[in-house]
């Protein structure tokens, strides 16, 4: 598509009551403005222009990898915001989409329909409109008796008749670029808010004999603008539903889609079953036949086929096929569970490899450890990987059995096929095939107390 796009993201968003600029607030882990940027790119716009201003130091880094940046100096209104993209638009012809950076639910399909509508009619502008039961706060569409779109009037400037009708401006447009920048020079600020309104371009275009088209949005939810945190929650639920339906229709079972939150970049293969209160975020991917949840949260995890994760939190971890975790397992960054490994109840793993078929079933902390295959770690055993200043590593060879409540004081190497007696504090290396016991011997003093039978 040979279409340009300008995304408005310079506003403050006072109604969010936040130190953070509005468009930087996240919806399912992705900043609001980034949703709009992605929709434009998916519609075929290679490099949208993003207008930044308020909180520029926060907003610009979110988009500069995929957008050209224009800077709005003052906060003089939406027409002024578009004008600040004039340098980036110089010399361009054809269509330009103008999009609000605070409307994350917009789809690339609708943007393509907007651009197609302008190209077919050679209109000066196509406005995406929406019919709302409660139009409070939106600009109203004014049509003549035959249905021609005359102008857009902001709520604060409306007559009672204009206020009464429910067709509203969505804030999404496709303009003829030349007409747009020519008309912007003619926009004044004689209105209730003393701002330069982009919406005034519609009336100017008509006066100059250009066609103006109002295209009704099929699904007004796409145009939900985020002005308050209530709307942010509503948009989160709408997006959650959209994403979850997509996965369910692709073969994923969800017991309770309402309590299942899946980020936009997560990949899930068919025949995965997701139990309630599960959160999959970031660049997480789940292979076939896994069962996740209840109460499971994964961030940036790669999970192989047929794993079972019950009440598990995983961050930047990799699980090969057939692993089981939880209930109450915590996999911290750098965890790698090899084929068939088990991490059980109240177990924390950090920056460690757990070899194929190895088991850490109960109440353990394993950090900075390379563990071979077929190892069994007894209940309550931990690696003491931190001496107060530095982290040290532990290695445990294949088929080794570590008895319960063992402290492995790193740096330490335990060989293959070794046995460590329960309750040991291991401070020295254990060779292959050896038995190591490091604990006080049991002392028994008979007759210490008088016998009860006497
Ligand atoms: C705007 C429209 C209104 C429409 C509504 C749909 C105008 C005058 N009004 O109103 O008709 O119904 O969107 O959501 O356009 N922005 C800047 N710089 C500015 C002002 C705003 O970049 O100086 C950006 C904001 O960050 C935001 C977008 O423009 O992304 C819209 O601004 P906002 O103040 O939210 O406009 P609305 O009052 O919602
Ligand atoms: Ca708005």
Q: What pLDDT is attached to residue 117?
A: 97
Residue 454 pLDDT exceeds 70: no
Q: Is the dihedral angle over the CA atoms 130, 135, 138, 144 positive or is it negative?
A: positive
The fraction of the chain above a pLDDT of 70, given in percent, is 100
Q: Which ligand 1 atom is at minimum distance from the Cα of 77? A: 23
Q: What pLDDT is attached to residue 12?
A: 87
- Decide: 337 and 354 in contact? Cβ < 8 Å: yes
For residue 278, give Cα distances in angstroms to 256, 304, 375. 9, 17, 30
How far is residue 155's CA from residue 133's CA, in Å, rounded to a whole number? 15
Distance 197 CA to ligand 1 centre (A): 9
Residue 51 pLDDT exceeds 90: yes
How many of the other CB atoms lie within 10 Å of CB of 155?
15
Whether 362 is a known active-site residue: answer yes
How far is residue 397's CA from residue 27's CA, in Å, rounded to a whole number? 45
Residue 403 pLDDT exceeds 80: yes
Q: Report the mean per-residue pLDDT for the chain.
A: 96
Q: 382 CB under 6 A from ligand 1?
A: no
CA 59 to chain centre: 16
pLDDT tens column, 120-156: 999 999 999 999 999 998 999 999 999 999 999 999 9
Structure pTM? Answer: 0.93
Q: What pLDDT is attached to residue 451?
A: 87
Q: Which two tokens stand for residue 245?
A: 């339906």
Q: 100 CB under 6 A from ligand 1?
A: yes
Residue 99 pLDDT exceeds 80: yes
Q: What pLDDT is attached to residue 2?
A: 79
Ligand 1, residues 34, 100, 136: which to mutate, most atoms within 8 A of Cβ?
Answer: 100
Q: Which two tokens stand for residue 234?
A: 């509503």
Backbone angles phi, psi at 50, to 5 degrees: -110, 125
Q: Which ligand 1 atom is at minimum distance from the Cα of 139? A: 11
How far is residue 382's CA from residue 396's CA, in Å, rounded to a whole number? 12
Beta bridge partners of 212: 125
pLDDT tens column, 267-278: 999 999 999 999
Q: 75 CB under 6 A from ligand 1?
A: yes
Q: Take atom 29 of ligand 1 and give the residue whose Cα is closest.
A: 8
Distance 122 CA to ligand 2 centre (A): 28
Average pLDDT over residues 204-222: 95
Instruction: Please give the full DSSP string across 15-75, using - where no structure is assigned.
Output: GG--SS-GGGSEETTEEHHHHHHHHHHHTT-SS-EEEEBTBHHHHHHHHTTTSEEEE--S-
Q: Which ligand 1 atom is at minimum distance from the Cα of 79? A: 15
Ligand 1, residues 6, 171, 234: which to mutate, most atoms within 8 A of Cβ?
Answer: 171
Q: What pLDDT is attached to residue 165?
A: 86
Distance 103 CA to ligand 1 centre (A): 10
Distance 100 CA to ligand 1 centre (A): 7
Q: 101 CB under 6 A from ligand 1?
A: yes
pLDDT tens column, 144-203: 999 999 999 999 999 999 998 899 999 999 999 999 999 999 999 999 999 999 999 999
Q: 381 CB under 6 A from ligand 1?
A: no
Q: Which ligand 1 atom is at minimum distance from the Cα of 102? A: 30
């Amino acid at each position: 598509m040979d279409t340009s796009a300008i995304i408005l993201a310079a506003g403050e968003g006072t109604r969010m009551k936040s130190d953070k600029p509005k468009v930087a607030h996240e919806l399912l882990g992705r900043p609001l403005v980034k949703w709009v940027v992605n929709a434009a790119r998916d519609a075929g716009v290679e490099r949208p222009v993003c207008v930044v201003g308020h909180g520029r130091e926060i907003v610009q880094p979110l988009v500069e990898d995929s957008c050209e940046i224009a800077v709005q100096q003052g906060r003089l209104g939406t027409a002024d915001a578009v004008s600040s993209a004039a340098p980036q638009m110089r010399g361009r012809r054809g269509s330009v989409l103008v999009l609000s950076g605070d409307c994350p639910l917009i789809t690339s399909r609708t943007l393509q329909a907007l651009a197609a509508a302008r190209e077919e009619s050679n209109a000066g502008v196509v406005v995406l409109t929406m019919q709302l039961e409660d139009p409070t706060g939106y600009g109203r569409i004014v049509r003549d008796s035959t249905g021609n779109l005359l102008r857009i009037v902001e709520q604060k400037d409306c007559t009672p008749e204009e206020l009464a009708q429910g067709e509203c401006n969505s804030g999404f447009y496709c303009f003829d670029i030349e007409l747009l920048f020519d008309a912007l020079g003619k926009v004044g600020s004689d209105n209730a808010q003393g701002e330069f309104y982009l919406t005034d371009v519609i009336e100017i275009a008509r006066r100059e004999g250009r066609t103006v088209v109002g295209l009704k949005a099929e699904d007004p939810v796409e145009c939900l603008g985020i002005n308050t945190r209530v709307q942010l929650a509503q948009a989160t639920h709408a997006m959650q539903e959209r994403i979850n339906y997509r996965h369910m229709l692709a073969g994923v079972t969800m017991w309770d889609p309402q309590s299942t939150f899946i980020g936009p970049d997560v990949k899930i293969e068919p025949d995965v079953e997701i139990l309630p209160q599960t959160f999959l975020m970031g660049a997480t991917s789940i292979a076939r036949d896994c069962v996740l949840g209840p109460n499971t949260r994964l961030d940036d995890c790669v999970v192989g086929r047929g794993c079972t994760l019950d009440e598990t939190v995983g961050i930047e971890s990799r699980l090969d096929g057939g692993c089981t975790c939880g209930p109450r397992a915590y996999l911290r960054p750098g965890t790698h569970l090899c084929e068939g490994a088990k991490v059980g109840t109240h177990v924390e793993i950090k920056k460690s490899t757990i070899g194929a078929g190895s088991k850490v079933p109960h109440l353990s902390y394993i950090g900075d450890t390379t563990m071979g295959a077929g190892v069994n770690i007894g209940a309550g055993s931990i690696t003491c990987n931190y001496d107060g200043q530095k982290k040290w590593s532990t290695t445990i060879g294949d088929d080794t059995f570590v008895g319960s409540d063992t402290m492995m004081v790193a740096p330490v190497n335990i060989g293959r096929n070794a046995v460590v007696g329960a309750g040991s504090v291991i401070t020295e290396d254990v060779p292959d095939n050896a038995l190591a016991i490091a604990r006080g011997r049991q002392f028994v003093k008979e007759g210490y107390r008088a016998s009860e039978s006497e």
